[in-house]
Amino acid sequence: MVWNNERVLAVLADLISENPFACQALLSISTIQFNTETPTLSVSLQAKPVLSINPDFLAAHVETEEELKALFLHEFLHVLLNHTLRYSENSYLLNLALDAIINSIIHRCFGSQYSDFFRRFYGNQGPTVLLRPAERDEIPALFLNTHKNIYLGNVAADDLHELLDFLLGQSIEPHNWILIGNHSSTQPVSEENKAILDGILKRNNGVGIWSKGKEPGEGNKLEHRYIQGRGPGIARWRAQVYMQLRAYLSPPMNSLEHQSIRLKTPIANALDRSAYFKWIQGRMLPMFEQQNKLDLKVPRALVYLDVSASMKPDLVLIIELLYALKSRIPMEIFTFSNAVNLPIWKGKGLKVSTTQGTDLDCVIDHMNKHKSHRALIVTDGYLPSITNGLQLKYISLFFILSSTGSTHFVNKYEFPYHQLNALPE
């Protein structure tokens, strides 16, 4: 299979848009590098995350876009799971345990279209059978029960590590198999990326990304949250957010600018025969001069909506509330990802377009061109560092964070913010 750089980036962009396991928070801010020094794929978690990809490895082993997505997910989940467990020492057995759990998650959640890569890449001899879905007659007797529990989601990574240590001890020969991704335990992780990983775990269920139990690796399916109907819980949530939006977006009473001017208006008086004669002859009315106040400017608030996939379903309800407010409060509503766009209203919803990733620099540039007094940014808070500096010349800036969003960014730059309550189940 031929994988040019553009096609690889397109597949990654699709995966980020789909956003399984909240991978967008990390992968969308990663710099992509193609090099043959990386054996397979790897993620560096220094100040700016770097996703390294070996194109020769892809050409030799990856046959479909789904399999390529499986590799991206494998590397993302490995980073997340290792961050969850925080082992102080690395070993081949630990790497085997982590990869077995990760590959089983991908197989359970996305099926054989994704996991066929692992089926081909790993054989059924020895412990590598744990790294691939397999039929019962393909599994050595020593690993039969273990394999079953892994692919049912009934065993956690730390439990599997202990079990493999008991079964194999030091007899394992790691040079006989290749693991996908970077398994170094010594790579430095910046404080910003630690906060991002903690935020991803918070946004998912429990300590990880699985629906049952409290240990990583348990559960057979993902937990999804849906808004069903408009019950009393949703009504209270909407009322609270409505008040928050109205309080911030309403212009201050002393912010209106006025100018006194003298206006001339026509006066029609039936008793004024001269005026009546002028009207008959020349269609002219006498003018009356009076002093009036003219509003020169009504300050408009700028509203920027983060349209990354992780903002749903909070954003759906917020857009409905903004629709109700926009006829009463002067505001301009925009959407942003890596660029600021003017959305199109479709009923009470917005028809939006998005590029991949999230970037605040484009929002700051846009705000500086609009000399409004106030701007509101609705986001999940998973934003990269600002590179063009805080050049907010005219605007007071406020953030509303989604219920599962991160406060790391707003706290770093000391922005005022309000975090939404969790949506009722």
State the pTM of this model: 0.52
Pick from 316, 351, 304: nearest CA to 423: 316
Residue type, position 241, single letter? V
Residues 164 and 187 in one domain: yes
* Confidence at 209, pLDDT banded by 50, 70, 90: very low
For residue 398, the surrounding DSSP H or E stretch is: strand 396-401
Copy the structure tokens of residue 391.
């050049």
Residue 392 has what pLDDT? 59
Which is higher by pLDDT, 315 or 286?
315
Q: Residue 303: is its pLDDT beyond 90?
A: yes
Place of tokens 């994988």: 3
- The DSSP secondary-structure symbol of 28 reads T
- Asked if residue 213 is part of any domain, the answer here is no
- Evaluate whether 105 touches 114 at the Cβ level (below 8 Å): no
Residues 98 and 172 in one domain: yes
Which is higher by pLDDT, 269 or 189?
189
Residues 56 and 139 in one domain: yes
CA distances (Å), origin 99, targets 33, 75, 122, 198, 325: 23, 9, 12, 21, 50
Pairing of the two strands 344-346 and 349-351: antiparallel
Pick from 280, 243, 308: nearest CA to 18: 308
User: 351-397, pLDDT tens digit by residue?
Assistant: 766 665 677 888 888 888 876 678 899 998 878 777 655 565 556 78
CA distance 298 to 253: 11
User: 95-152, pLDDT tens digit by residue?
Assistant: 888 889 889 988 888 888 899 999 999 888 788 889 999 888 888 888 888 898 888 8
Which is higher by pLDDT, 193 or 325?
325
Identify the domain containing residue 282 by its residue range.
257-296
User: 222-258, pLDDT tens digit by residue?
Assistant: 333 333 345 567 778 888 888 888 888 887 655 555 5
Residues 96 and 184 in one domain: yes
* Confidence at 304, pLDDT banded by 50, 70, 90: very high
Residues 61 and 182 in one domain: yes
* Confidence at 205, pLDDT banded by 50, 70, 90: very low
Residue 334 has what pLDDT? 92
* Confidence at 284, pLDDT banded by 50, 70, 90: low
Mean pLDDT of the chain: 76
- Asked if residue 70 is part of any domain, the answer here is yes
49-63 burial code (b ≥16 CB/10 A, e <16): bebbbbbebbeebbe
Which is higher by pLDDT, 335 or 295?
335
Q: What CATH number has the domain bearing residue 378?
A: 3.40.50.410
Residues 146 and 277 in one domain: no
- Asked if residue 227 is part of any domain, the answer here is no
Q: How far is CA 175 from the centre of its chain?
A: 38
Q: Residue 349: is its pLDDT beyond 50?
A: yes
Residues 282 and 374 in one domain: no
Q: Residue 43: is its pLDDT beyond 60?
A: yes
- Asked if residue 86 is part of any domain, the answer here is yes
Indicate the range of 81-85, 197-201, 274-278 predicted with least confidence.
Answer: 274-278
